[in-house]
Amino acid sequence: MRDDYIKEALKTISDPNILINVVSRRVKQLRRGNRPLVESLETLSPEDTALREVIEGKISHELAA
């Protein structure tokens, strides 16, 4: 995973534990064949794709009360 993507994603989801859970769930979806929600000129790993989706606001999280 790219460090710059992690730092940017932490600006959107500030809790590292929640970020890890969101990204890992999305990576599983991408590996099962779900289409990426972001376009990239370079080939990104599923982890980097998930981080980009968080950065661009394509995926988010909701805390249960």
Q: CA 24, CA 13: separation in Å to the nearest integer?
A: 14
Q: CA 14, CA 33: separation in Å to the nearest integer?
A: 28
More confident residue, 2 or 1: 2
Res. 62: pLDDT tops 90: no
- pTM value is 0.91
Q: Is 37 within 8 Å of 58 (Cβ atoms)?
A: yes
Res. 63: pLDDT tops 90: no
Share the mean pLDDT of the chain.
Answer: 93
For residue 65, what pLDDT band results from cuts at 50, 70 and 90?
low
Instruction: Summarize pLDDT for 17-32 with one digit per residue, the tens.
Output: 999 999 999 999 999 9
